[in-house]
Structure 1
Amino acid sequence: MVPNGWNRIALEKIAEVRSGVAKGKKGLKAPIEVPYLRVANVQDGHVDLTEVKTIEIEQDKLERYSLKYGDVLMNEGGDYDKLGRGDVWLGQIEPCLHQNHVFAVRPNQDIVDSFFLAALAASNYGKTYFLSCAKRSTNLASINSTQIKEFPVLVPPLPEQKKIAQILSTWDKAIATTEKLIATSQQQKKALMQQLLTGKKRLVNPKTGKAFEGDWEEVKLGELGKTFTGLTGKTKDDFGKGKQYVPYINIFKNSAVDMNALELVKINNGENQNTVQYGDIFFTTSSETPEEVGMSSVMLNQTKESIYLNSFCFGFRPHDMQQLLPGFAQYLLRGTQVRRSISILAQGATRYNLSKTQLLKIELKLPSLEEQQKIASVLTAADKEIELLQAKLAHLKDEKKALMQQLLTGKRRVKVDENVAA
């Protein structure tokens, strides 16, 4: 049901849907090289200009394919979340073209506001429409220009559109500010790790009130403990054939094991398998890139529950906690210097593998336990600051999404200045 005072109009009646330039055309006469936008540049709610490629086009075609301020960019397809997504072009590059997989929708500004239209297309209302008529395959979807043109646009009075767009813009600014704070905090933490984990920056010893002193001890990883295997004799195909569900560690996204991300597999009742414990370190043994091989995660939780390890990883159990503290290990093993030492051990072509024997030979530099503890506490505090910002960002995005659903469908109306409306 259309809200009072609103209309529902097919996009083609209130905007021009423009297709982009195709790559690979031969026999061009006196071509010029011009920047152009690809699907990768058109993100959901922003245009990513980090990497802008160029394309050749004939001079007399430049005006036809050039973007103009206020064009609403919409993607033809890709992953489901990319379908129809886009943003308003603000003339960041002049001239700039768009690929044929990116549509440029040029609204009649007397009827529909560009920012309102972009928000509507990105909302649940827009995404539901695009998915309903999309051509789908495994994890991919696409729409054509006809379906874009038939998009049933909800059209409030223009002043109301602008007011809605203004409100959503305020949320966008808050989200963008938080994203920048997260990026800055992550860069600061990275720089701090580089300084602290190499001894270039020494923290203050709370016992003496002075900076820690003394050389760090050089040890081989293998001298600190021993390895153990994951779910031995099992592959992914075996998971689910047993009789008892057990939690197991599978993904190492974080330097510490995420207890909320444990998966479940089945093993036979009474089956003798290695379980993990506090202080254990886990390494991936295989990856598509050498940079990801040997990525580690540390068990920082004390638990009475039996937890197992994926067979595609292996565990490392320190002999004791008197040389390498778990809280320090989680950062040391993901530090730039150690990661570089591990990645050069990767062997393979299309897929890279890691030898446990070689990994155990890598050298680590360890400060005293007191300094390890201090470094770990500083980096943990940095992590918590980032986590708080990420939680704030998730909350802002959820709040904006809920607000969009209400404002863009007329379930919640905004007050418009009567002078503006007139």
Structure 2
Amino acid sequence: MTKVKIPDGWQETKLSKLLTIRNGKDHKNLKDGKYPVLGTGGVIRYVDSYLYDQPSILIGRKGTIDKPQFITSPFWTVDTLFYSEISPDVIPFFLFKVVQSVNWQQYNQATGVPSLTATTINNVKVCIPSSKNEQKKIAEILGTCDRTLELTEKLINAKRKLKQALMQKLLTGKLRFPEFEGQKWKVTKSGKVIKFFGGNAFSSNDSCESGIRWLKIANVGIESVKWDDISFLPQHYQNQYKDYLLHDGDIVMALTRPILNNRLKICKLSINDVPSLLNQRVAKISVLNNSINNIYIYFLLQTRYFINSMNSLLMGNDPPNIGIKDLENIQINFPTNKDEQIKIAECLNSLEKMIINLEQQKELLTKQKKGLMQQLLTGKIRVNQ
């Protein structure tokens, strides 16, 4: 094995030289207070005492071992989460980034629940700059990346909350555009105005290495198509199965496990998602007559009412499947004036585009941060000048 070259001015050392691992303790007898009790999954409760009040890197002892945490205020940790006392010879946040870059799963010492020991952590070798000034600059750059990502995430959450609030008001008639005040709405079963068209039961034997994309349940995400797991069907199926051929602007939804965290797996296809063929347990959504706007329906199906109605039909099913007949029997409401439907759809669509753009920005920032970490924490890019 080729030995990794240590950059000039850097040193290889064990983590035991940079921090001291401490065990968490039971919190059950503590009174409620202002100090967070932390586990591997985050904050459990708040208590009136703390274990440590200096910057600390927290590493999972059991369970989630590959998601270190960093805290700068007083805290308490449970016994499944180690905390650490950091040496004054290293910048705390820089060391956190080094610890974060370690592949902790390779140090897992259990066949069941993932586990680490203090000895294992102590013996992990890392490479760091001898200069605290260089450590500080690396920490500042990566800290800026973190703050930018956090801000983007906050913007995404704020836009999502706004979209959800507007959906609940605009799609129920509680909030009206002035020009449509007083105009009628209609209540009917969804099957009277919406067509839920199920995909074809293509055989796994039909799968091939290239051809036309095969849109399965795994590809139907919330508001977007996910092609991380991509399958293909023979190219000539595009003509053979024209009824199942998907086009730009088509709307699809999952029929198996269709709801995730109270959000419906439904999305609009873009030019980048087609041509593709519709698989079974995925439905294509379209309108049955020209008096209904399909984008209005796309948002209507995402309302709390419609999702709750689906949930009640899914109860007791394992896996949770919903049938087209059940969907057709759920009642919906809509403005009889199509212009009002279009205006509602345009308002919500503009918000969704903002959210998608922000999510794309977040994905790009995450990749950039990962690349920077790899370069900065190995000394391939130097910032000590």
1:83-136 deviation per Cα after TM superposition (whole angstroms, max 9, x unaligned): 443232222xx5x42223322121111x1121111011112xx23xx3443347
1:343 alignment partner, one of 284, 308, 311 = 311
364-373 or 272-281: bigger deviation: 272-281
Residue 137 (structure 2) pairs with residue 163 (structure 1): yes
Structure 2 CA distance for partners of 1:163 and 1:314, relative to 1, 3 Å:
closer
Residue 64 (structure 2) pairs with residue 72 (structure 1): no
Alpha-carbon separation, structure 2, partners of 1:400 and 1:361: 48
Alpha-carbon separation, structure 2, partners of 1:325 and 1:225: 10
Aligned residue-pair number: 370
Q: Which residue of 2 aligns with 1:36?
A: 37
Q: Which residue of 2 aligns with 1:153?
A: 126
Q: Which residue of 2 aligns with 1:258?
A: 225
Structure 2 CA distance for partners of 1:292 and 1:174, relative to 1, 3 Å:
closer
Q: Which residue of 2 aligns with 1:197?
A: 171
Residue 80 (structure 2) pairs with residue 98 (structure 1): no
Q: Which residue of 2 aligns with 1:85?
A: 67
Q: Please give the residue correspondences for 1:302-313 in structure 2 after superposition, counting only pairs within 5 Å.
A: 307-313=276-282
Q: Please give the residue correspondences for 1:173-322 in structure 2 after superposition, counting only pairs within 5 Å.
A: 173-203=147-177, 210-211=179-180, 213-232=182-201, 238-240=203-205, 246-249=212-215, 250=217, 251-255=219-223, 258=225, 260=227, 263-264=230-231, 266=233, 274-277=243-246, 282-287=252-257, 295=264, 297=266, 300=269, 307-320=276-289, 322=290
2:296 alignment partner, one of 323, 328, 333 = 328
Structure 2 CA distance for partners of 1:163 and 1:331, relative to 1, 3 Å:
same
Q: Which residue of 1 aligns with 2:371?
A: 402
Is the 8 Å Cα contact of residues 37 and 97 (structure 1) preserved in structure 2? yes
Alpha-carbon separation, structure 2, partners of 1:349 and 1:197: 29
**Helix, strand or coil: the match of 1:88?**
strand
Q: Which residue of 2 aligns with 1:117?
A: 95
Structure 2 CA distance for partners of 1:341 and 1:212, relative to 1, 3 Å:
same
Q: Which residue of 1 aligns with 2:355?
A: 386
1:367-404 deviation per Cα after TM superposition (whole angstroms, max 9, x unaligned): 22212221111111111211222222223222222222
| 1:170 CA drift (Å) | 2.2
Is the 8 Å Cα contact of residues 290 and 343 (structure 1) preserved in structure 2? no
1:296-326 deviation per Cα after TM superposition (whole angstroms, max 9, x unaligned): 6365558997643332344455333x13222
1:20 alignment partner, one of 24, 31, 37 = 24
5-14 or 242-251: bigger deviation: 242-251
Instruction: State the one-letter code of the partner of 1:106.
Output: E
Alpha-carbon separation, structure 1, partners of 2:258 and 2:286: 26
Residue 87 (structure 2) pairs with residue 108 (structure 1): yes
Alpha-carbon separation, structure 1, partners of 2:341 and 2:175: 13
Alpha-carbon separation, structure 1, partners of 2:56 and 2:137: 19
| 1:148 CA drift (Å) | 0.5
Structure 2 CA distance for partners of 1:296 and 1:403, relative to 1, 3 Å:
closer
| 1:348 CA drift (Å) | 0.8
TM-score between both structures, scaled by the size of structure 1 = 0.74
Structure 2 CA distance for partners of 1:338 and 1:103, relative to 1, 3 Å:
same
Q: Which residue of 2 aligns with 1:172?
A: 146
Q: Which residue of 2 aligns with 1:27?
A: none
Unaligned segments of structure 1, at least 5 residues: 25-30, 42-48, 205-209, 417-422
| 1:72 CA drift (Å) | 0.9
Unaligned segments of structure 2, at least 5 residues: none
Q: Percent identity?
A: 25
Instruction: State the one-letter code of the partner of 1:379.
Output: L
Residue 339 (structure 2) pairs with residue 370 (structure 1): yes
Alpha-carbon separation, structure 2, partners of 1:375 and 1:381: 10
CA RMSD of aligned residues (A): 3.6
| 1:151 CA drift (Å) | 1.8
Is the 8 Å Cα contact of residues 246 and 307 (structure 1) preserved in structure 2? yes
1:182-228 deviation per Cα after TM superposition (whole angstroms, max 9, x unaligned): 11111111111112111222236xxxxx3455011222112125444
Alpha-carbon separation, structure 2, partners of 1:375 and 1:167: 43
Alpha-carbon separation, structure 1, partners of 2:275 and 2:155: 39
Alpha-carbon separation, structure 1, partners of 2:351 and 2:95: 40
281-290 or 309-318: bigger deviation: 281-290
Q: Please give the residue correspondences for 1:407-422 in structure 2 after superposition, counting only pairs within 5 Å.
A: 407-415=376-384
| 1:259 CA drift (Å) | 7.7
Alpha-carbon separation, structure 2, partners of 1:305 and 1:166: 43
Alpha-carbon separation, structure 1, partners of 2:272 and 2:121: 54
Structure 2 CA distance for partners of 1:76 and 1:333, relative to 1, 3 Å:
same
Instruction: State the one-letter code of the partner of 2:15.
Output: L
Instruction: State the one-letter code of the partner of 1:122.
Output: Q
